[in-house]
A and B are shown apart, each in its own frame.
Chain A
């Protein structure tokens, strides 16, 4: 339905105003954190609160990076998230290949075996998982932080769904050409799966980067701690807490997943088949 031009521009301006307002409200905690991350201790405690940038920006960021081990936490988390992203994508892709392009007995059983793990978040079995990992002698290690997360139903089903939507003749053609399933996966499926790969990589990176309860329980040594629990450590000295430091750490901790999200969010939407069908 066409509205008169005047009313349309008025509506558009109102929508812009409403959107700017909403964006500011949603972003305000982060803008506040950003401003405070540049303030000295005295500026942070000033009354009424000082909302603009302060004079300690570089100093705060350098201090948390070096003195408060944030650099180490970020590096550890990057390694752990990288390992999980790589192997989970690989294993999920292989499992998808097995489920879509082969017939074998017990296929239904395997399908449900994987499906049921959707009901088993780490938090639910944290006591028993901690016991298992300790018995394996993996306490305080990268193995404890990575190995239990190298497979997931989400990943397998994403690839299974995507592979099923690829025309079946392609696999026939590959077989006629004498290509085995591994060649087929590498030279045909992978190039056709970048959106799915990106979508899985994105949710895995954010999931691993933001993990909290598991590293809190399983890692004791600061040298191997991950970023979220490291952030917790900064707030634990209530009275002496330098909030400028804490906010600088919070800003640094949110940057990597945010950058990955902004880079990949379109592939994410396509990979989950959320976008408009093309």
Chain B
């Protein structure tokens, strides 16, 4: 890329200035502050802060509640990735068939792209409410008993996973459909002439050719389940029951803004930050030019 065409010593800086200032003040500075705050401890209801070294980190390392939080985050992320991506790929392949009205089906399938976690949370909360929720009505017809989706730890996490998968369907389908449409159909035809059956064609050709997209979606879906599920959990379960849906970001929020443990919350931020850095580095390594499509 050597298309430098204009001259000027200060001009490029002038053009870059608004972006650089905002990124410096509102991204770099808070991140550095987060690291700094994580070495401090707040005492006396936020009136005094004192340096405490690695104490916040040591507390987290010893705290079994925090271990549980990490475990819940891993479970939610794994479920959102595995269930979400396989369902989305199946739907995208179905919608990629050349039939009449295909574009209408596509619109009807990708609109959840615009859904917010809060809307998904509110609708699922209502559908799964005990007493009058429609899903509860159906499950009680089948099993004969009312399932307490919000009160049972296992069911609550399942509920959060279902809502998260549903909300992210549109995003995943948009990207899978685009990748499918760019596939080289000649390879598939060659495979079917060679006698490969549908499953073999899918596994060895389609799925293999889609793997860069799957990998991109793997990373964005993990990031999604780290952060965007916050709104859903806040509305559906508030981290409960018995911390069953208390993911890392929710625990951090409560420590920071309900219990005012700024230092402890900052240490949790640093841990999340290191996880995201790790994921991003893996992504840069494997696909040099991919851009983050989130914010």
Interface residues of A (CB under 8 A from B): 1, 12, 15-16, 18-19, 22-23, 26-27, 29-30, 32-33, 36, 44-45, 47-49, 51, 87, 91-92, 94-95, 97-104, 107, 110, 113-114, 117-132, 147-154, 156-158, 161, 164, 168, 171-172, 174-175, 180-181, 184, 203, 206-207, 209-210, 212-213, 216-217, 228-229, 231-232, 234-235, 243, 246-247, 249-250, 253-254, 257-258, 260-262, 265, 269, 272, 274-276
Interface residues of B (CB under 8 A from A): 1, 3-6, 8-9, 11-16, 18-23, 25-31, 33-34, 37, 91, 94-95, 97, 99-101, 105, 107-120, 122-127, 131-132, 134, 137, 166, 169, 174-175, 178-179, 181-182, 189, 192-193, 223, 226-227, 230-231, 234-235, 249, 252-253, 256-257, 262, 265-266, 269, 272-273, 276-277, 280, 291-295
For A261, the chain B residues whose CB sits under 8 A away are 111, 113-114
| Contacting pair A150 B94 (CB below 8 A) | no
For B266, the chain A residues whose CB sits under 8 A away are 127-128
Q: Do most interface residues of chain A lie in helix, strand or loop, or is the interface mixed?
A: helix
For A152, the chain B residues whose CB sits under 8 A away are 295
Known: A118-B280, A212-B116. 12 other contacts (CB 8 A): A32-B127, A44-B132, A98-B15, A113-B23, A118-B291, A123-B227, A132-B26, A154-B294, A206-B113, A265-B107, A269-B178, A274-B174
| Contacting pair A95 B15 (CB below 8 A) | yes
For A217, the chain B residues whose CB sits under 8 A away are 253, 257
| Contacting pair A120 B27 (CB below 8 A) | yes
| Contacting pair B234 A119 (CB below 8 A) | no
| Contacting pair A210 B126 (CB below 8 A) | no
Can you sample 20 A-B contacts with CB below 8 Å? A26-B109, A26-B112, A51-B134, A95-B16, A101-B5, A119-B273, A124-B31, A124-B276, A126-B256, A130-B257, A149-B295, A157-B291, A181-B15, A210-B115, A213-B231, A235-B235, A246-B126, A247-B123, A269-B178, A272-B293
| Contacting pair B108 A171 (CB below 8 A) | no
For B166, the chain A residues whose CB sits under 8 A away are 26, 29
| Contacting pair A100 B3 (CB below 8 A) | yes
For B291, the chain A residues whose CB sits under 8 A away are 118, 154, 157-158, 161
| Contacting pair B269 A22 (CB below 8 A) | no
The complex places the Cα of A129 from the Cα of B253 at a distance, in Å, of 13
Q: Of B19, B234, B272, which contacts A94 at CB under 8 A?
A: B19
| Contacting pair B293 A212 (CB below 8 A) | no
Q: Of B116, B179, B182, which contacts A228 at CB under 8 A?
A: B116
| Contacting pair A212 B231 (CB below 8 A) | yes
The complex places the Cα of A245 from the Cα of B5 at a distance, in Å, of 58
Q: Of B3, B13, B19, B26, which contacts A91 at CB under 8 A?
A: B19
Q: Of A26, A92, A132, A247, which contacts B29 at CB under 8 A?
A: A132
Given A113-B23, A126-B256, A154-B295: A119 in contact with B280 (beta carbons within 8 A): yes
What 3 A-B pairs come out closest when comparing CB atoms? A98-B15, A210-B116, A171-B5
| Contacting pair A250 B125 (CB below 8 A) | no
Least CB distance, B234 to chain A, in whole angstroms: 7
